[in-house]
Every structure is written in structure tokens, then in C-alpha cells.
Chains A and B, each alone.
Chain A
Amino acid sequence: MPRRADAANVCVLGAGPIRIGQACEFDYSGTQGVQALREEGLRVVLVNSNPATIMTDPERADATYVEPVTAAVVAEILAKERCDSLLPTLGGQTALNVAVELADSGVLERLGVRLLGAGVEAIRTAEDRERFREAMRRAGLPVLPSVTVSSLARADEAAEVVGFPAILRPSFTLGGTGAAMVYNREEYGRAIRSALAASPVGEVLVERSVEGWKEFELEVMRDWADTVVVVCSIENLDAMGVHTGDSITVAPALTLTDKEYQLLRDGAATCLRTVGVETGGANVQFAVNPETGEWAVIEMNPRVSRSSALASKATGFPIARIAAKLALGYRLDEITNAITGSTPASFEPALDYVVVKIPRFAFEKFPGVDDTLGTSMKAVGEVMAIGATFEEALQKAVRSLEAGGVGLLAPPAVAALDDEALAARLRIPNRDRLWVAAEALRRGWTIERVSALSRWDPWFVRRIAGLVAAEAAIAARGLGDAGTLAAAKRLGFGDRCLGSLTAADAGQVRERRARVGITRRYRKVDTCAGEFAAATPYLYGGFGTLDETPRRQRPAVVILGSGPIRIGQGIEFDACCVQAIAGLRAAGREAVMVNCNPETVSTDWDAADRLYFEPLSLEEVLDVVAHEEAEGVLVQFGGQTPLKLARGLAAAGVPILGTSPDAIDLAEDRRRFAAVLDRLGLRQPPNAAVTSLADARAAAGTLGYPVLIRPSYVLGGRGMEVIYREGELAAYWEREVVAAPEHPVLIDRFLERAIEIDVDALADGRDVAICGVLEHIEEAGIHSGDSSCVVPSVSLPLETTAEVRRIARLLARELGVVGLLNLQLAVRDGAVYVLEANPRASRTVPFISKATGVPWAALAAQVACGARLAELGVADGVPLGVAVKMPVFPFDRFPGVDPVLGPEMRSTGEVMGMAESFGESYAKAALGAGLALPLSGAVFLSVADADKPRVTALAARLGELGFRLIATQGTAAVIERDGIATRRVNKVSEGRPNVVDLMVNGEIQLVVNTATGSRAHKDGAAIRRGALEHRIPYVATVAGAFAAAEAIAALRGGIPEPRSLQAWRAAARRGAGSRR
């Protein structure tokens, strides 16, 4: 039947900022969905506060609102754009919750807006765990004994019914926030409170725990004619108890007979029908008892999810695209399978390979945090690998992780464990378990023992044992005999790993391979295990006899992606890569994408001309480049990952397009870079490189405290700290430094209260265009990725910005940048210091692109292919309005961590707010980031001595805005001295009642607490934690507080009017016109 006629102008909701549990998979699904809708001639209005997404590129939708994804804002947009329907199923939990809120408040009805994809009732039934349980029981599907608790009163009787161990799970939360496993009443008493607090509706499901049962997921689609297809079955290696997002998973399921699988398939279909998901995709999770086959439905998500992104990449079945079409009223059999181009979408993909997903964590960013994995998701990203066998896929996935190790060989931390500790690390879920299991097997532990401890199915353990046995055999036989080498490659061993097993280096292994003709060939992901011809070049490498790479028409350029999302290297780099693809096409090249992250747009099979779903290891990249006979490689868009490969690629004779490897080295090598700055007469914070504590003391002495210290061999600000006095130096050395002459420790004079600036520039080797100059709101010392920033600058004097631009031009030329360059600078007392130069697309490029309306990454790709800025008509970027970028942090995922900010990056994502004034922009950003600024009430102030000089002015401003002031002794003293009334309150260490008591009692609406220099100051930590746990907006710097005050002032006049990027552009053009 033709699509429904009543949808012509549809609003699509994005998921907002990247957070743990809701990451870039929703950029992928949103981008795909929006494209599918526009193919149908619909007008698409997109709302997403996250500028680092492809979906928010203005040409992707008809109206693109980079605005907060909140009910109030979306309501305004729906009215303003006269939308007739709303599609909330592509934007994760955020979008679903907003849809429910809009329905409840009657807004949808009032505006005559229809919900597409999932009805409110269905969403409620699926998301409200109690209703879901009931529905399942009625449909005769097994569920686990459970009771919903909405008050402490009912908590006890719930415990009676359910018994222990039990699991507590709050309704309507992301990625299992607040969920907990409890084994006794005492724990229960404590956990139930935080669980109730974590649920926005104050409701918690107390459920029998089946820790240790197997966990399976089915990705299901249904159309209005009630055809149901299972797109993919996913088996979790980690048993129930470890969140699927934190589990190593495998597709298809490998330990089920057909009867057991069909049982789950039927269950999934019944689940969708019962919940009432009329059309679209859903994800159903099951638990299965490995001893008896007993099973139960755990949950279902009536929307595309992280797992459906994985399923799409694992099978080639574009779930989001098809969900969008189904929402328009098509039936599955009316949609063609775009991969084969011939068969209908009403079928179930058949896999003739194995897919392994491994999550990527960021515990190292949160020192001292417990790294136990549980029911609340902690992973920040993931990798996926495709192999002919589980072994090959697993080892490819391990390579894709960039975890630093070599294959399954034990990393030092694991090798060091004694048997007892090893057993514990195996029993208690944690991110090292794969290597722990391998090590245990290496020590001769039986499969039964390892399986019993880890609760991993013996089948997988046996396969891992096989790889461990293979390590030994390979080491013993060496690579002399080609048979062993061939077998090893089929088992997925990387050249590097084979090298370290046979005392050779990767290069020698590679030569040996070439000599005996063991070369990687590429197969298609075709959704049908070869039964039908596939049109789409979605490829993965292996060592079979077959190569399915299609012929090519135009010269190919390989573009390297950014691998797994991690703190410090996030979705913004994927956005740059996808833009670069457009640039390559504009430059008449065929874009060949290499990446291993299933959550991204870049790994969507139609994003590039060809997709190689492969690890970003030197070995695999060299193979792709050789296989494609590529003209060259682009390494400047995927962040640090491809940049690190540049030297190796060049050494192998691969042309690097754009900035040359030597230029890259010139910027990355601190010594060479310092020389460049000297030559140009540019300032750098005084610094030194030392290899011993004694030298460090001496150096710090001469540089003068505070100093900023970091080991030279880590990136992304790892191990970076500000040291305020000599005493702390020794402690730091103890903690962080593995002193080694080849890895000196770098010490900089720390510039206090300096304004930090990010500059992005585009250069063609001769001309330079400044994309934008971003002024950070927090001062230098808080990682550039963790501080809010604004463009254009609001406080810098003109001559400073002029100087900054001059420096950027100078450096771009001197370094020989061809493409993008990012500079971080600090301004203090009018002097500009260069902190670092990154000769690549930076985190801020997508934001600047939105703020200036210029696709910088796309232009950079053209430049890298030889185009000149002049030809492209590129000039300096001009902000369309005042744009603010604000980070979001994952502290709520890490109980007990001090949410203090510093030179080490800890944010997972960002939002953008654009308006006419700074206050409005900052207000928008705050709304988008979930920083609920109060319009009235009491503000708590407690600032470091360094900040005291400016605190009075802040207090005065807040007073003007009618806020009551509460402050700790020291801060209060300063304020009162200047004649402003404040109420004094105890620090936690000063006895009770103290500030945290006031927070608990709801007497504080906003917290301003600037970290006193020395790390983890107890009182500060208590305050920050208190604010976090009681959801009180919290500002970490005086500058930030001033900004917040401006935002509050702006919010007084109501929510700033939303405006689409297209409208901003049009206004700018009109402006330009009238100026002429």
C-alpha cells in the first residue's frame, strides 16, 4: 500500500549530547532515518542539541534545530514549523521521554501532531517495568518474580516476595543508572533509596536476580500487517548481571539449538504484539538458564537502540532506515533490501561469518573508581569486528580496541596477578576479563574452572583456550613453515602478535606473508550468506580463497576513521570523517572508509563509496590501501588514531594526503615544536623535560609553582596534573610515573587564571583561513574538551584575537599544514602562549562548522586532494550568531568519584546553544546539557583563595538577580567585607548542620564551588558529590558562575527562541547583502 498521506512535515528528535548509555549510535540511526524520510518527499524538521553529529549538518534536513531536546523547546518548534507528526524512536531514551511528556501534557493533541513509530501506550508499557511485567504475564511469556516499589514503605514487602539475591532497577533511566544487585537486607536498605532517587518517576522494580544465566538479545522489526522479522540474534559472552552495553557480545547466537532459538524468536514477536509496537524496530532481551533451558523476558526497547546499530552493522540490514519507512505505513515486503537491491526487506538476514563486539571503557580517567561491571552501563564506546570464525573476529576486535596490548597476550597488570587474584578478576566482571581468562588458561586452568568462575559458556572458553594453545604452538614452530603461518592468520593473529611470539617484528612477518602469498582477501556483508548477488560494497577482510571487491571507476582515497569512541576522541571525529567523504567526492575521488566502530555514521554501508569494516591497525590499513591501489590516505580526520599510523604508513611508501608525516611530527614532537616556536618568536609556557624525581624538583623550583606535569608518552591529557607545592610532586611521581629515559616527564609552568583559546584553521600550504577563534569560559587548567567555550570571543580585546589569528597563520605556514590545524593557546596579562598544536581536525571543528555555516572538514578533504583555498573561495569563518559549546560529564556513572575538573579530560559529549546574546546562548547550552539553572532561591558559594578576588563581584551579580547567598567561612568573610549579606554554613569537616545537609533539605538551588588547587580536597569533594547526588546544578569556576548568571538573567525572559541553522544562514546572508 502507498505510504500514509497524513505525514508530510515530520519532526525527528535526536538524542542530544553523547553520554554513557546513549552514544553516537543515535547519530547513525537519526541520519539514516532522516534520509529515508526525505527520499519519500517529506519535509523533515530535526531537533538535536549535539553539534558534533552528522545528522545536524544543515543539508541533511529541511530545518535543523541545534536546540535542547526538551519538551518545552520541542513544543515550540513543532508549533513554529507546523509539523504534523513526530518521530521519537530514533533518538534513544531522551526522545522517547520527551514524546511521552508532550503527549501527557496534551501538547501533541493541541497542535494536532501524530506520533509515528510507537504510540504513547506502547512506549509506556515497554518503559514502565511494572506494566511491562504485567503485559508479559498476560501474554503467557515468562518473566522473573518482581515487585514495583514507589515508596520505602513498600520496600520491605517487596523483599519478602522477591527474595535475595535481588536486583533493583529504576523506571525510565538510561543505561541502568541507579540499578544495583543486592545480596542481603542491609545492602537492600541502602540501595533502594538511591534507586528511588535515580528514577525520574520515583519508581523501582525489585526483581529476582538471575546473575549467571545467559543473556541474549533479538533485534526485531514489525510492520502494520504484522509481519515480524528477526534482524539479528546477539549472544552476550558476559552472563546476566553485566549490562549488555558492557558485555562482549557475539552475533549470531552460537550456543542455541534451533528449537531454543525459535522459542526466543516467538517470544520476541509476542512481546512486540503485546506491547503494541505496530511498526518499527525493537530490541528484546532474554535470560536463559544454561543448565535447564528455563528462560525469561528481561526487557524490550520499543525503538532503535545501541544493539540495533550493532545489528545493522553486523548484518547489513539498515534497521533505522527501514523503521522510518515502516513508520510511514509501508510494509516490509514493499521495501527492497538495499544491500541486495533485489530481495524484499521482509526476510531474515543469514550470516556466514561471526561478529564480535567489545566495549571500550574509560576507568583510567577516574582514578580510584571501582571497575566492577554490573547492571549499570559504564562503557563509553565499542568496537565490532567481522571474521570467518569466532577466533578471527575476537582477535580482530581486540586489535580494534587500541588498548595498547598485543592480542590476548597478558598485559603487565594481568600477568602480575597471583592465582588467587586471577580467580577473583575472573569471577568479578571487569574489563580485563578476556585477558584474565586467557592468562588463566595459559596457566593450565581447565576450561571447566575458567567457565565456572567467569560464567562464560564453555564453548567460548574452549575457543579462547585454542588461541592460547596456538600461541604456544606458533612460538615453538616459528613462522618458517607456511602452513603454520597460514593457519595463524586464519585464526586472526595479527602480524604484530605473531612477531612477538616468534621474536620477529611485524614488518618481517608481513614480508614473510607476502613471500609465501598469504594475503588478505575481502568478502561482502550481504545479508543472505551468498544466496543472492549483493550490490553494496560493504567488505571485511580475511584469509579465505575468495575476493569480492568490485571494480572501481575513479581513483580511490582511503580515509581512516577514529575507531572506538573514548573520552578525548569522540563522535566529533566521525562527523569530520563523514564530511570528508563528501569532500573527496567533490574532488572527484572515490571515498574508501576504514573503521571498526559499529555506532557510527561512517560505518553505514552507504556513507562512503566503499566500506572496509576493519581494525585501524597498521597491518589492516596497509592491506586495504594496497588492495585498493589507493592514490593516498587521509589521516587528519579521525583524531589521534589515524595520526599515529601516519609514520608507519609513510614508511611503507603510502602517500599521506594533506599535511605530511614530517609536518605532523614537527607539531607532535615537543622538542621540534619548541624550536619552531622559538624561530617564530612565539611564547610557550616555560617548560622542562625530566627523567628523575630530583630533576623534577629542581625544574619545578626554577619554573616556579604551580606547575603542570605529565608523562610524555600519554595522550588526551592522561596523567596530567597541576602541582601546587613540592610536597605533591613526590606523591605524583609515585602514582603516575614509570620513569624511563626514553619517556621523559614534561613539566610546564602552570599559567594561573589564564584564558584558554582554541583556534581551528584550514591551510593549503600557502593560504590560511581561520575557521574560528573559541574563547574558553573556564580558565586554562581545565582541559579544552571539558570547558565551555564561546565564539565569537566575548571578553578578549581585539588586539588579542588579532594576535591569535596571526599566530595561527604563522604556525600553519611554518609547520606546512595542508588541511586542518587546531591550536590551543592561553592568554595571560595580554601575552599569548601556545599550549599545543594538533595538525588535524579537532574536537571543535563540527561545532565551528555549525557556528559559521561552513563545512570545514569537507573543504579540508578537497584541499588535501590538491585544491587551493582560493579556488574553493574559502575565507575566514564568520560566526552566524553567538555560539556556546558546553560539555556533559559521566560522573553519575561513577559513584564516589570526585567530579572535579582539571587538565585531564573527562567529559563524554557536548551540546551547542546559539542565540543573539551570550546569556541566551549559554542558557540554551545549559538546557541542552541538563544543567537546570534556577531562576530564584539560594546560591551556595565556596571558592578557592585564588578566586576570592573575583567572588564579590559574582556575589553582587547574583544578589542583583535576587538570589539568597550561602557561603563557607572563608568565602563569606570576603563577601561580607565588601558589605554583601550572606548566610554562613559549615563545611563537612566543620561539623553539622553542614552544606550537604542544606542540599539534602533542598535549601540550595545552585552550587558554585571552585576546586582548591591540591587534588581531591575532602571538603570540596563532599560538596561536589552532594550536588551531583541531589541533582543540584553545579558550577566549577567563577567564570562559569558569571556565565550562569547571565544565562539566568536571559532565562527570566522565558526560553530563548529556537532558530534553525538554515534560518541563521539566511539571516546572515541578508545581513551581508544589506551591508553591501
Chain B
Amino acid sequence: MENGLLPPLLAQPRPARLALADGSVWAGFAAGPAAVGEGEVVFNTSMFGYQEMLSDPSYAGQILVLTAAHVGNVGVNLDDEESGRIWARGLIVPDLSLVPSNWRSAGGLLDLLAREGVPVGWGFDTRALVLHLRSSGALPGALVCDPAADVDLAALAAAARGTDGCDLTGEVARRRIEPWESPPWCPPGSAPRATGHGPRILVIDCGTKHSILRQLRGAGADVVVVPPTAPVAELLALAPAGVVVSNGPGDPAAVGVVPETMRELLGKLPLLGICLGHQLLGLALGGRTYKLRFGHHGANHPVRDEATGAVWITSQNHNYAVDAASLPGRARVSMTNLTDGSVEGLVAEDQRAEGIQFHPEASPGPHDAAGVFARFVQRCRGGA
């Protein structure tokens, strides 16, 4: 019998604790670094794509709870990175696979998390946790994977901060202007998509996922990524045909500069806001944002396009939303979430601006909305 085959449950697992700001404490086991992670505790129900989620900058400042029964099965690889590092402050799963099995795997999930010092809690009753968060709403909390006995959970939990009022874009965004070259992942057997030198599109990086850049590139755009702080003049100097404002972490209401920048660009050239970018567009147009109870985090949310009636199954990851009532007349709600009626898209034709709350670039999630990128690039070409 090989060693190391014994299920971790039977191999004297290290205890781990999750303390939430409401005083509740949750027990599980620890893997990876003996560390403490603090942040807003959010759950995602997607059954695939843990690497994409963990490396998505939108999760900065958050502890990610995954409800999928087994996590780590397929390991990690370069193509599935959504940024250069892991952003989540901690990972909580029902069960963690230590040895991956997949033809693309370049290593194990736990090794990656360990390298980046991210604590992992496994063996938690994540369903119980999800039902709790569902009623209490997203809460700050502390994931304690440190055997050091004398940790004051209550204190830690009290100290843990959520994302309200935080502008985290600075932490996660690029600091320099960079061109983006790499195309979308090309499945075996299919020819790589032509990525010509079409219209130049700037992506204001609030914590963008690689997939957004890849999709734009795949749609033929000449992509340049710019920091969120870049002044309008600098942007216009790059002679863009269109501007995309990316996804990102934190509270939109707290984000500086970008809404201002967007306001100045409104009407001048095609503008597309995705997720946080969409919320910022809402603000730039004079609307308000509010916090959802426990946000939308998953790969199965139905969204209806109000113009065509088409329904898309979308990938979502946001805690804040645009308040439809707050929008001025020049903007209209273009897409609606079918589970709670919240705003999933808005358009301001005369401002040449559109916002999309969910993730057309998916990764993880269904590709139903992938056409968004081609259409936007088309708009930039046609100068529509």
C-alpha cells in the first residue's frame, strides 16, 4: 500500500477556524501555510474554475468559500491564470484534492496557495456557512489556520474589515501602461483565432482579468492596458478607438479618479464598463450604487437582454450593484438579472457608453455573452 494515500480526515488533520464578525465560529481543517487570513467572506457556487476565481483581482480583500464538493482536482496551469497572483485572502472548501489529474495540469493547487501564503480551510461544512451568509449577508471574518493556540478569535473577527468604503483598485491594478498581446486559450484541434491589428482599445485596469484582455485581443483589437490613475490627456494621447473599464475589487462608491475619467470620456468615444467598470459607469452617469445582501458569485445566473428578450446564463462576481432608480434619463437599463431583478446592464446611447454587470469573458462560466467583445470592437471600428 502506498503511503500518503490515507484520506486526510484520518491523518490527524490540523484544525482550522473561521470567525465571522457576527460572532459565529466555524470549524474545519487547515492546509497550506500556518497563517491567518482576514477579509470579507463570500461564496461562489460555480462547480468549475477555482484557479480563475482565486487569481481574479476582484477577490482582493475577500475570503473565498467554494461550494463545489471537490476542489483542486485538475490542479493549476498557466493558461487558467486571470492575473499574476492569487488575490483571495483565504480559501474555504469542503474537500481539497492534493494530487491533480488533468492533461493541462502544471502543479497542485495547494502548492500554489502555499507559495503565495494563502491559508486554506478544508473539511468545513460550506453549505451551513452559505446558508448562514445567505441570511446574514456577506460578513467580514478571519480564517485561522495557525496552530498557535492563543489566538483571540473574537478579537480577530472584530478587527476583520469588509470591503465597504474601500478603494482596492490601487492595490491590484497595473502601475504602468502596457500593451497586451496574448490571445484567448485555443482548444486542441481548433485553429487559433486571427488576432489582427484592429482598432486600439484601452483597458483601464481596475483589477482586470486576463480573459477580458484576451477576448478583446481575440476580437481583433489592439489592446493597451492603462492604470486607473492615468489622466485623460495621457489616455487620449494613445489615440484610442474605444475604452474598456475593467472589473475590480472593492466598493465602487469609494473608487477615485476613474469615474471622473469616464465622465470626461463620455460621448467622446465608445465606452464599455465591465462589472466594477459597469458600476463606475453608473456613477459617472450620475447614478448610485448599493450593496447586495450577499452578492452574486457564480456561473449560473440568468440575465435577460431587454431589447431582444434573449436570456443568457452568465458568470457573476459582485457585491455591489447599480441602483436603477438613480439613473438619469439619458441612461437606460439594458439587461436584468432574472433571479432578483437587479441591473445587469445599462446603455447610454448618446454617451456611446454601455455597462455590463456580469462577466462576458466568463472564465469561469458559460460563453453565452462572449459576443459582447466582438460587438464592442465592431463599434470601435465603425466609430459608432
Q: Which residues of A contact B (CB under 8 A)?
A: 142, 225-229, 233, 252, 254-263, 265-266, 289-295, 331-333, 342-344, 346-354, 388-391, 441-442, 444, 446-447, 457-459, 462, 465-470, 472-474, 484, 487-488, 490-491, 523, 528-533, 544-546, 548
Contacts and interface: CB of A to CB of B under 8 A. Distances in A.
A556 B315 CA distance: 42
B51 to A, nearest CB: 8
Nearest to A265: B366
Contacts of B80: 257-259
Interface string B314-332: 0000000000000000000
B69 A469 contact: no
B99 A462 contact: yes
B382 interface: no
The 3 closest A-B pairs by CB, nearest first: A258-B49, A258-B364, A459-B101
Nearest to A547: B128
B311 interface: yes
B206 to A, nearest CB: 23
Interface in B321-375: 338-339, 362-368
B367 A470 contact: no
Nearest to B304: A333
A530 B101 contact: no
5 contacts: A252-B68, A266-B367, A346-B338, A351-B68, A388-B94
Contacts of B313: 227, 229, 346-348
Contact of B302 (A259, A344, A349): A344
Given A257-B48, A390-B70, A531-B298, A291 B103 contact: yes
A326 to B, nearest CB: 13
Given A257-B104, A258-B364, A529-B130, A347 B94 contact: no
A533 B135 CA distance: 10
A255 B74 contact: yes
B131 interface: yes
Given A258-B48, A468-B1, A487 B9 contact: yes
Nearest to A457: B101
A292 B6 contact: no
A901 to B, nearest CB: 47
Interface in B213-239: none
A845 B70 CA distance: 45
Contact of B134 (A295, A531, A548): A531
Given A388-B69, A466-B7, A530 B311 contact: no
Contacts of A256: 48, 74, 102
Given A352-B130, A530-B130, 18 more contacts: A227-B310, A257-B77, A258-B52, A265-B367, A292-B103, A294-B188, A347-B300, A347-B338, A347-B339, A350-B299, A354-B69, A389-B95, A391-B7, A462-B5, A487-B7, A545-B125, A546-B125, A548-B131
Interface of B: 1-2, 5-7, 9-10, 43, 45-49, 51-52, 67-70, 73-74, 77, 79-80, 94-95, 97, 99-104, 125-128, 130-131, 134, 185, 187-189, 298-302, 304, 309-313, 338-339, 362-368
Contacts of B99: 458-459, 462
Contacts of A289: 103
A517 to B, nearest CB: 15
B321 to A, nearest CB: 16
Nearest to B370: A266
B10 A473 contact: yes
Nearest to B27: A545
A94 B95 CA distance: 43
Nearest to B79: A259
B371 to A, nearest CB: 12
Contacts of B79: 259
Contact of B10 (A233, A254, A484): A484
A472 B47 contact: no
B103 A293 contact: yes
Contact of A254 (B70, B127, B367): B70
A354 B7 contact: no
A650 to B, nearest CB: 35
A523 B363 CA distance: 30
Nearest to B104: A257
A293 B188 contact: yes
A359 B46 CA distance: 28
A352 B300 contact: no
B340 to A, nearest CB: 9
B5 A346 contact: no
B298 A350 contact: yes
B42 to A, nearest CB: 12
Given A256-B74, A331-B311, A348-B366, A470 B338 contact: no
A446 B45 contact: no
A352 B127 contact: yes
A259 B7 CA distance: 29
A389 B70 contact: yes
Contacts of B364: 258, 262
B118 to A, nearest CB: 20
